[in-house]
Amino acid sequence: MADNEETQPNVNTTTPPTEGAMEDKSLKELKDILVSEFDFTGAEVLSTKAQVIAILTNMRAKKAKDEADNAALLDQMDKLEQKVVMGVDKDGKKVALIENPTAPTAEDKAAEKTDAKKWEGKAAAMKAHLAKQPKVQFLIPLGFGEKRGAYETVIMNGYRLNIMKGVLVELPRQVAELLAESYQMTIAAGQDYLLDRNDAVKEVLG
């Protein structure tokens, strides 16, 4: 919705508990993991270990895929280098040519690392900023076919907040306002579509 380290990305190498290991934990422990690991809002309404384990497994799989994709992209970028080679122009004169002119330079790569660190700092600052705001109650409706445990992800200045759908939760005011605006736009777009559709139907039916 709203508004992503090193040459080798800073991936958490700690192996998360397997589904079997998670079964050994209490419901409260699993909820605490869900909240601390993914900033998950609404975990308190989950009533069974199976629900929490399913959400954790899903979110960890998605996180692992995102990290693998980012690592592959960074690895591909690192292998590209600009090289100056000697060539010949159309008049037969020797000229300096650049291989892979669109590849990032060493300066570009250094800047990317700096930007990544700045982005991490912005995310932490946003989390702290939201934590100080008054909380308001908000309910994100389940989409068609969605079951309990579905969640919405909001990203603000790099800070990722996961919010359970279909239950009343307390959110920082700024997050609630952002969601309210987004859903109002969605509802308005849907109403415009229905009005246009009704007019078209009327024309056909004469």
Burial class (CB in 10 A: 0-12, 13-18, 19+), 112: middle
- The H or E element that residue 91 is part of is none
- Residue 119 identity (one-letter amino acid): W
pLDDT tens by residue, the chain, 206 residues: 444 444 344 444 445 556 668 888 999 999 999 999 999 999 988 989 999 999 999 999 998 998 888 878 777 766 666 566 666 777 777 766 665 655 666 666 666 666 666 667 888 889 999 999 999 999 998 888 888 889 999 998 889 999 999 999 999 999 999 898 887 766 566 555 555 555 554 454 44
Instruction: Note whether 101 and 81 are within 8 A (CB).
Output: no
Who contacts 54 (Cβ-Cβ below 8 Å, separation ≥6)?
149
CA distance 71 to 68: 5
Torsion of CA 52, 53, 59, 65, to 10 degrees: 180
Q: Of the candidates 122, 113, 16, which has an alpha carbon nearest to the alpha carbon of residue 64?
A: 16
3-class SS of residue 162? strand
Quote helix, strand, coil % in the chain, to nearest 5.
Answer: 55, 15, 30
> Domain residue spans in the chain?
19-205
CA distance 42 to 74: 34
